[in-house]
Amino acid sequence: MSIINAAITAVGGYLPEDKLTNADLEKLVDTNDEWITTRVGIKERRVLKDPTKGAAYLGVQAVQDLLSRSGIDPKTIDGLILTTNTGDHTFPTTASIVAHDTGCVNAFTFDLVSACPGFIYALETGANYIRSGRYKRVLVVAAEKMTAFVDYTDRATCPLFGDGAGCVLLEPTEEACGVMDASFHTDGIGRNNLILRAGGSVNPASHETVEARQHYIYQEGAAVFKHAVKGMSSSCRAIMERNGLADADVAWVVPHQANLRIIDAVAREMKVPMERVMVNIEYRGNTSSATIPLCLWEFEKKLHKGDNLILTSFGAGFTWGAVYVKWAYEPKH
């Protein structure tokens, strides 16, 4: 029997029109452009300002972009896996809303939550559905309205996050391309270093939690930075060694866009020059699980069939990992 691989055959993305610049933040909190740029490498981020629209709206726009550019009938989509940390509701799932609003009426759906690495976890999950031979088209979507959980009185975290959504389509192929390998890890030691401290079943919403501003992102940056560099670098190296990839064999590293200094440190550990690292953090900020598919969407025209890509991310939990993808198509002009 021939081996079925799961290939990325199309990408989509969406960024809200409104921008929040560092100059805008200077009016809200004690910070400045130099401080933000030198520490995290961000100049501006996109914001979905409408409070009646959430992650599902962003995901819908990204999926519609993919479907319109690829000419694919949404009724032919077998599954839709959506990763988000900022879902519209605790239930129903955000994936079910996105499928309904994009016409993917024949797709099974579920949400997958694994912090910032959610997309690469979902990518491997979707690939396994394709590899099973029972499904032909699976959408993997990452949609995040991070600004809904940002405390704009906290100078340490408010410059970091933005909103956006990206997605990819997985289809079967017998060629030696697609999602080739993955390596994932978790260490609960960091669960209190990056956390939304209220709103779950442990600490439900109350007047006290709202007054204490516990429904906003809390992060201890130094601890996260140290573990992120180590985790992402080691995962990438493990994937490369397992697949016999030398530094020169990697066409692109696609890292989570959390901090430019983290990205630079990971690239140096991998001995891959920055010109082969996808970076869009300067004008996008950290869109959590959506950063990697947004990079693939924005860099699509630079990708060529057969390119070796290493996708890597790190996030709350701590969770981290890397995925090896061999690109399956030539640029679409």
Positions annotated as catalytic residues are 116, 256, 286
- Beta strand residue intervals within the chain, DSSP E: 5-14, 19-21, 44-46, 79-83, 108-112, 138-145, 163-173, 178-186, 194-196, 217-219, 252-255, 308-315, 319-326
Paired tokens of 12: 């989509």
Three-class SS of residue 63?
helix
3-class secondary-structure state, position 207: helix
How far apart are alpha carbons 271 and 73 in whole angstroms?
Answer: 42
Q: What gap in Å lies between CA 228 and CA 111, rounded to an integer?
A: 24
Q: What does the alpha-carbon distance between residue 291 and residue 208 come to, in Å, rounded to a whole number?
A: 33
Structure tokens at 57: 């709206």
Q: What is the DSSP letter of 193?
A: T
Which letter does DSSP use for residue 277 in this model? B
The structure tokens listed for 175 are 């060629």
What are 188's two structure tokens?
């609960």
185, 74, 193, 62: which is closest to 138 by C-alpha? 74
Q: Which of 75, 146, 91 has its CA nearest to residue 288?
A: 146
**In angstroms, rounded to a whole number, what is the distance separating the alpha carbons of residues 69 and 63?**
10
